[in-house]
Amino acid sequence: MNTSTRDPGLPPDSRVACLKTRLGALSLLEGPKEAVREGDLDMKLFNILNDKGRDIVALDPRMDLQEAARILDSKRIGAAVAVNASGKLVGMLSERDIVRLIAEKGADALQLTVADVMTRNVITASPDTSIEDGLERMTDRRIRHLPVMDGDKLVGIVSIGDLVKQKISVAEAEAEAMKQYIVAG
């Protein structure tokens, strides 16, 4: 399990919300972490979150796009959620949103706020959503990032790359199992 994004001083099933004031970003670590079942080919989004971590970079809707772009760049991510003061998901902002606006309005667009530009009707999924359903939802709606909600609580975010990586891993495991079966044959 990759624990590089988790605080090593915290128990793995802890529920922690910590505000990172640096760059105005909110980082949420959510739990509890459900166990990944061996040989479970019907993987769910919570399995991916357990593997990659549940660290979420969230933007304050009041910050300007220049600051938001700096955060996306420094975190090396393509999108971030926008949350209000109580941590409720209120929108999503991607690099593409920023680039489109600059193309339309020029550099002055960077003075607009995240709230001015963000997608407000965010497509989400639950932790129990299958990888296949997540991929289908992302492909149908032409989105690359999918916030994962447990009820009204934001518990993580997955990218299309995360889902494709998992699908490849499962296919490789199945191929190796088939190879071992033939060799033992």
The per-residue pLDDT for 6 is: 37
Residues 6+ apart with CB under 8 A from 83: 26, 58, 59, 60, 61, 89, 90, 154
Predicted confidence at residue 119, as pLDDT, reads 96
**pLDDT score recorded for residue 43:** 87
Domains within the chain, CATH numbers bracketed: 16-184 (3.10.580.10)
As to burial, measured by CB atoms within 10 angstroms (0-12 exposed, 13-18 middle, 19+ buried), residue 160 is: middle
Residue 181, pLDDT score = 87
Those residues whose C-beta lies under 8 Å from the C-beta of residue 68, and which sit 6 or more positions away, are 59, 80, 93, 98, 114
Give the pLDDT means over successive 10-residue stretches in the chain (185 positions).
Answer: 38 31 34 40 86 92 97 96 94 96 96 96 96 94 94 94 89 87 84
Alpha helices in 59-159 (DSSP H): 65-75, 95-105, 114-117, 131-141
Residue 90: name the closest of 121, 69, 65, 56 by CA: 121
Q: Which two tokens stand for residue 162?
A: 């995360």
Place of tokens 């997540």: 134
Single-letter amino acid, residue 124: T
In angstroms, the CA 16 to CA 137 distance is 29
> Given this model, what pLDDT does residue 92 score?
97
pLDDT of res. 8: 39
